[in-house]
Structure formats: C-alpha cells, structure tokens
A and B are shown apart, each in its own frame.
Chain A
Amino acid sequence: MRRIAAKLHAPGWSRPVGRALGRWGASGIGLAAVLVAATIVQACPAAQSVLEFDRGGIAAGQWWRLASCNLVHFGWLNFAANAGAFAALCWVARCRRLNVMPLVLPSAVLVGAAVYLWADGITTYRGLSGVSYALLAMLVLHAAMRAGKPAAAAWVGFLALAAARSAFEAATGRSLLPTSLPAGAGLAPVSHLAGLATGAAAALACRILARAAGIKAIRASGECVRSGGAGVGR
C-alpha cells in the first residue's frame, strides 16, 4: 500500500488521491465510500426502490438487495443516526489501527441474509446499523483482547449487554431505547444480532489466525509481539 501511495505521490492529478491513500489507506477510503454511497442513495428515492431489501425481489433472484439494503434508510433522521454511528466506529477502528473494511461487505450480506431467513414478517428492510453492530463487536472484542483482565471483562460484559438487549427486542418485538425509525417501520433486532455475531466471529477468527501465525499479542503501538521475541511489525 505504501508503495502504491509513494507512486501516486508523483506530481499531477493523482497527488491528492495519493496523499489520501497515504494518510487514510485503502481501508479508510473504502469506508468513506460506503458513507458517500449511503448519502447518495438517501438523496435519490429512485435508487432506494432498486436497492432496498425486498423479499419478493430477492426470491426472484435480485440477490444484490441482501447487501445493498444496508445503504438505504427510512428518512434522513434514520440515515443520520446510522451513518453517524458507522462513522464513529470507523474512526475508533482507525485510532486502534484496525482494518475493518474487509468486515463490511461480508457483514452486510450476512445481515441481509439473516433478515431474509429469520424475520419473515419483514418484507422491506433498510439500514446500516447491522453492519455497525458488526464493527462494534469486532472493536469491543479487539479492545478486550488487548486490555488487562478487569477491563477485558468490562468490554465483554458490555458486548453481552448489547446482545441481550437485541435478543430481548427480538423476543418481545419492543424496542428498549428510542430509535431513529419513523412510525410504521418496526425495529429488526435480528439484523443487530446477526451483525454482533459476524463481528464477534471475525474478531475471534483474527485472534485464531494471529495465534496460528505466532503472534502472541499486539501492543498499543500496533507492534506484534511474537511467541518467541520482540515486536516485529504492525
């Protein structure tokens, strides 16, 4: 990536792109693109009907709706709350030097699939919050893995609370906290549960892969501590 960025630092039109790549990385640009896409979709009602989760459409083979439904929202308030939460989580990930971009697309698809499979009362689904819940789970578990025992327990407890809340909402059909949804659109907690599960699975997978690669721990600076010695890289 740095090599690409260095090449793009050459004078001319590509300089700003190169700088952005250097500063934010492809991951940051990818996440920003998600937000820009959601904003464009929100401003363009014609696109919403093509991209939203439509059970009939998906059954008829419009599979893209499983992922694209995450970019569509019920009004600007719903969009602002979801996009704001997503942006905040991306920022936290950046501060923690965690590349969450590879998680976005799989979690978007899994959230859509979970709604399709387990919320058959919902024929139209919209919202980015499922993906945000995936990022949240990954970030929280990542923080827990890097923290000491008491703090790790607190992080895990927080995540368990979030999961319990979503499970309660799924069981009762009632939202425990105010949502940004307009009247008439119900909360789909199954999407939050799916997001949490995806994020948690991704965090654990990372952990297992890291262990398999012999990385014992990752310091706050991003340096990896390998089983047999000092940190050798980020």
Chain B
Amino acid sequence: MKAEAMTYGRRAVFGAFVLAAFLLAGAASISSAAGLLIADGGLGGVLEIQQHEVNVTINNGVAVTEVTQVFRNTESRQVEALYTFPVPKDASVANFSMWINGKEMVGEVVEKQRARQIYDSYKAKRIDPGLLEQTDYKTFEMRIFPVNAGAEQKVQICYYQELDFDHDWGTYVYPLATVSAGGADSRTAGKFALTVHAKSEVPIVAMDSPSHRKDFVFARHADAYWQAGLETAGGDLNRDVVLAYRLSRPRTGIDLIASRHGAEDGYFCLTLTAGKELEGLNSSMDYAFILDISGSMADAGKLALSRETVGAFIQALQEEDRFEIITFNVAAKALFDQLRPADERNKAQASDFLGSQQARGGTVLRPALEAAYRYASPDRTLNVVILSDGMTEQGERAALIQQIRSRPANVRVFCVGVGNEVNRPLLEQLAEDSGGLAAFLSRGDDFQRQAAAFRRKLTRPVLTDLQIEFEGPQVYDREPAELPNLYHGTPLRLYGRYRQPGPVKVKLRGLIRGARFDNTVELTFPAADRNNGEIGRMWAWHKVHRLLKGADRTGSRAEVIPAVVTLGEAYSIATEHTSFIVLENDAQYKRWKIERRNALRLQRDRSSQQELQAQLESMRSRASARLGPQRAAPQNLGPVLAAGDRPGQPQPQPEPADRQVGRPRGRDLRLPGFGGGAVGPIGAAALGLWAAAEWLRRRKGRKCGE
C-alpha cells in the first residue's frame, strides 16, 4: 500500500513536471512532428518514436505512401495511444494495420459511429482494438488500446494521393511540420527512412528535394524509373519532406492509364496536360495580391513564407503588368490605392511594404476581397491572388463564397494556402467557384519555384469549356462529370469506369483563347491491367469528395451520407463518415459481421505492388550492370552483340503481356495553332539600313541636282 502510495506520489510529481513542461513548451513555441502518438487520458505524455519508415511508390503521378512507425510507451502505466497525423493534400487513407501479438491485423472500413461503438466495447474489456477515424478535413486520428508500460507498438498506414504538377514538375510532400499539441517531441529516437520510387512512362528527366537537398540520394535507373532515399538516425522531423521530379512532355496530350482485374468492369484515368505550344500568348495582366496578416499567420513562419512568395511573384512580373497589394486582418489596407505598373520603383516599394508586415488580429477576408474587386476593368483580366491559411472566421465563410460568386466579369480568384494546416476545402471552393485555382505552399518547399510555377499557371492560356465524349466501350461514372478549365501546369485528370475493353474514340472539344478546337483521338482500354490498382480507389475517393462538396454547398449532408458510407466500405476509404477498425482476429470480424474486403483488396494490391517492385528491381539491376568496365565483345564471333547480350550483363527480359498493356496510352492533341507573320530583329535592322541608304542616295541626288 505504501509502495503504491509512493508510486502515485511519484506519478503526481512526474505529472506536475510534464504539465509544467507542456506550459513552458507551449509558451515558447509549438512543437511539431509527423504524426504523434500521445498517451491519452490522465496527464497524457508522448510515446517515443522508435522507428519511422516511409516507402513511397509514385506510379504515373499517383503516390502510394506506406508509413510504418514503431512507438514505445515510455510511461510506467498502460495507456490508450492516440495517434494524430495530418492528411496530405488530396490523400485518401487506404489502409491501417497494427501488429497484435506479432501478427499484422488489417483494418476494415465501417460506418463511423458503428466503428466507435465497436472500439469502445473492446476498450471496456481491455483487449486489443484499433480505430482510425478522420476528425476533420485535415486530420486523422488513430486510437490503440492498450499499450502496456514499456511496450512497443507497430502500426502501418497507407494512403494514396495525386501529386501536384506544375507543367513538368511533379511535387510530393511528406508532411512533417504538423502543428500539434504543445509539448510533443518531434525527434525520432531510432531511424527515419524515406524511400521514393518514381515510375513514369513519360520520361523523368530530373529529381530534386527543395527541402532536404543535402540529405537525399537520387538514383536514375532508367528514364522511366528514378529512386530517392533519405535516412537519418535520431533526427528532428519538424520540416516537411518535399520531393520534386520533372517529366518531359512537351506537347499537349492525353494519356490513359487503366486498371482491370478479370471480368470486372475496369477503371481508367485520362490525364490531359497542356504542353509548351500553349505557352506565352497572354498579354499583360493585372494582379491584386491579398495577404493575410492575421495572428494565425504568425505560426510556423507562415507570414514570412507568404511575404517571400508575394515578393518572388512581384519580381517575376513584367513592366506592362500592373499590381496592388492588400493586407488584411480585421481590416484591409492597400499599398498604392491603385494598380501600378510593375517597374523597379514600385517593386522596391512593394518589397518594403511586405517587409513591414506583422501578424496579429483576427481574420476577416471580405473587405479585402471587396477592395480587390474595385480594381477590375472590363478590358484587362484581374487576377486576385489570396495568400492565407484560410482560417477565416466561421461566420464569414458562406458570405465569402457568395461574394466570390458575384465577382465582376474578368476577375479570377486564385488561392494560395500557406502551411500544412490550411483550410483547404474553403480555399479550393473559393478558387473553383471563380474559375481560378488553389495551390498550397509547404514550409519545406522552395517558394521561388512555387511562385514561378503558380505565375505560369496564371499567365498561360487555358483550355476552357472543355467537353469530352467517348465512342466505343461503354464508359460510365465519370469523375468529374463536367471537366473544369485546363490550366498550364496543372494536368486535368478524368476518372471513370468502362465495361468492355477495346478501342475507344475520345472526342475532346473546347476553346483556346476563344478559338474552338475539336479533336478525336483513339485510345485502347486494356482487357487486363493489374499495375494501376490505385485508380479504382482514386475514382471512389473523387466520387466521395464530389458528393460531400456538393452536399456542403446545399448545407446538408444527410442525403449523401449513405452513398459515402457505401463507397467508403466498398473501396476501403476512411472519410469523415467511415473509419478503419482493427480487431484482434478474424473471429472478431465475423462476430461483428464485418466483411474482410480491405484484407482481400490489400492482398491484391500488395501482389501488384510486388510485381511492380520486381519490375523496378529488374530496372535497377540493368542500370547497375552498366557500371564498371565492360568486357569487350570477342572478335570474329559473327554479328556485333547488342548491349544487353554482352557476356556478364543480364538479358533483357521480355515484359509480360499484361505489363505491356499496362503502359499509358498517350496521344498528342492537335490544338489550334497560333501563327504569326514576323520580321525578326535582323530583318528589321537590314531594312532600316536600306531605308537609310535610300535617304542618303536621295539627298546626294538632290545636291547634285542643285
């Protein structure tokens, strides 16, 4: 009893110490980390990250991220571990596994309330359940119970996401700089390893990490396959890992990737990319930059990032462009009170103005947006660029959406979300409703690259009024049903399903700078393709996303929730209305009548992943075989041997039939041509000289005449 009292006494002292540390840390700064496993209940406490491994496979622009983490309960009590992690942009959580008694138990998706009920019923009995649920648009929470004192817990999460593309550059962000509860330790005690396999049928020509340039090792195994690796021991994980790779697709075109298993209906993803031939046709434009300087922008250097981004953007403007900067917190303030040309003097003034901004006060965006609209003129396009974390006051959001809808003609609104905790749905909706774009800046990224890329999107011509029709195998359930505008630098993806394999005629119609174009390309839907399993999930995720977004506009989700739950369960997607639950064994799943859909799907996906990994391994082997001295081919042995036939080199393996059909089936589009008659500078100078010679000749003739 005495010993127990001592223990409680020690715990109380330790708890008081932890509390003090929390307060101190909270006052000093907010710590951050990738995902945090916190001992929930009582005074809390953080579980130590023993190991943090991230394996990313990027297959034609869709990244599959598998995060494996091992945590250790450093407390001397049994705890419920609460693991919070941010959702990367447009990510769909597709699996949650935990190791129970050394065996991996794969989670299943069920309706959120039901999942919580099941979890709570096990928790009361103190046996191993795990629950993963989406708490809001940006955060997932995972609960594991119990984690015994000193015990380790291994968990694995897998999510899919489409990468952001800026024309040639695809950017992958692994979010580590997550603002989380105070007192959390962002260091990993063991190793942190991140491996990226980037595979693309459009050749990859460069790879870089703006955030961890010195730490990454890059290897190019083939044009179609690059690998990047980062490994640290006991590192601090408070910066996002940003990796970018460049593809070389010079022409505007349409690419098809598909997925089909057996006799099931297949899934396809068509990607429409604007090429270089559409560059640089826009004339000068007006820009109104709206910069959020509210208190929330002080966190994690968001204001500094915004300032630098606007600064870089303004530096890139041409003299014939005009601009204005409006800052806002609870009130709006303009720099010039008029649009001014982007000359050196005004750029310098803007730089001083930006440098003097400080983050404080609340966030009320509407007056700033109203002020920006006043700069609109009928003969020039006004681009309103909002840089904010989107943490505008709740009551303002509906009015803001209404304000965007009633904008003047010739105004486009672009939203740049700053930081990882940005209110993405709001900024995306604002941009979407105005025919603009939303982009998101990560703290680890290179803001100049981001600003340059975003500027390209703003200034380059777009395809508008796009319509697509399919002739051939029956195509249904397209996502999105209506195509948005195509911006330079942002490929447009269309997902859908098809009933029969075979050739299909794709008719694409739209406008480029007012010129109508009408193209028909022929593509082939494959009979079997097991390499792109992610397409099915991405299709379902987009459908869920569209249903929820549509419902949010009407103000009620009640009508769409059943469809969202059905899709979530069928495609194993954690949403705001479905959660992953992990139970101790198969019998428990049976008891609750939960079908093992995810286990089966995961088995299939892993088998595909293994095939893909084998293919990548073969590419690595081929690349390494080219290293070192190559033995000369023996002379007088008949015909010259091909590179792959040299002794000591692996023979190139013919690709399996289904892998050949797995290749993207890309076609360039024939778009309206912009042609010009142009006299070059040399021609103009030569004609000038001729004119001068004629003038001299004439003058001389006159003098002679006199």
Whether A78 contacts B678 in the complex (CB less than 8 A), given A88-B688, A183-B280, comes out as yes
Residues on B with beta carbons closer than 8 Å to the beta carbon of A177: 680, 682-683
Per the 8 Å Cβ criterion, residues 158-198 of A in contact with B are 175, 177-188, 191-192, 195
Whether A81 contacts B678 in the complex (CB less than 8 A), given A91-B691, A95-B695, A124-B515, comes out as yes
| CB atoms of A75 and B379 under 8 A apart | no
Cα(A108)–Cα(B446), bound, Å: 49
Which of B380, B515, B678 touches A181 (beta carbons < 8 Å)?
Answer: B678
**B274 CB to nearest A CB, Å:** 11
**A23 CB to nearest B CB, Å:** 14
| CB atoms of A45 and B680 under 8 A apart | no
Residues on A with beta carbons closer than 8 Å to the beta carbon of B279: 183-184
| CB atoms of A124 and B513 under 8 A apart | yes
| CB atoms of B280 and A122 under 8 A apart | no
Instruction: Annotate B433-467 by CB proximity to A: 1 below 8 A, 0 otherwise.
Output: 00000000000000000000000000001000000
Please tell me the size bucket of the interface on B: 35 or more
Residues on A with beta carbons closer than 8 Å to the beta carbon of B281: 74, 182, 184-185
Residues on B with beta carbons closer than 8 Å to the beta carbon of A62: none
Is residue A206 contacting chain B, with contact meaning CB distance below 8 A?
no
Is residue A56 contacting chain B, with contact meaning CB distance below 8 A?
yes
Whether A56 contacts B677 in the complex (CB less than 8 A), given A46-B379, A91-B695, A92-B691, comes out as no
Per the 8 Å Cβ criterion, residues 65-89 of A in contact with B are 70, 73-76, 78, 81-82, 84-85, 88-89
CB nearest neighbor in A for B515: A123
Whether A187 contacts B678 in the complex (CB less than 8 A), given A45-B283, A88-B687, comes out as yes
Chain A CB within 10 Å, residue with most, of B320, B681, B687, B701: B687
Which of B673, B677, B679, B694 touches A124 (beta carbons < 8 Å)?
Answer: B673
Cα(A89)–Cα(B697), bound, Å: 15
Per the 8 Å Cβ criterion, residues 262-305 of B in contact with A are 276-281, 283
Per the 8 Å Cβ criterion, residues 124-144 of A in contact with B are 124-130, 132-133, 136
Is residue A119 contacting chain B, with contact meaning CB distance below 8 A?
yes
Cα(A125)–Cα(B676), bound, Å: 5
Which of A132, A179, A185 touches B674 (beta carbons < 8 Å)?
Answer: A185
CB nearest neighbor in B for A84: B684
| CB atoms of A127 and B682 under 8 A apart | no
| CB atoms of A88 and B515 under 8 A apart | no
| CB atoms of B517 and A127 under 8 A apart | no
Cα(A74)–Cα(B205), bound, Å: 32
Show 27 A/B contacts (Cβ-Cβ < 8 Å), sorted by A: A45-B283, A46-B379, A54-B514, A54-B515, A84-B679, A88-B684, A88-B688, A89-B691, A92-B690, A95-B691, A95-B697, A122-B675, A123-B515, A123-B517, A124-B672, A127-B676, A127-B677, A129-B678, A133-B677, A175-B680, A178-B682, A179-B679, A185-B674, A186-B277, A187-B676, A188-B676, A192-B677
Interface positions of A (Cβ within 8 A of B): 44-46, 49, 54-56, 70, 73-76, 78, 81-82, 84-85, 88-89, 91-92, 95-96, 111, 115, 119, 121-130, 132-133, 136, 175, 177-188, 191-192, 195, 220
Inter-chain pairs besides A55-B515, A55-B672, 9 sampled, C-beta below 8 Å: A45-B379, A70-B677, A75-B283, A81-B680, A92-B691, A119-B673, A179-B678, A183-B276, A185-B674
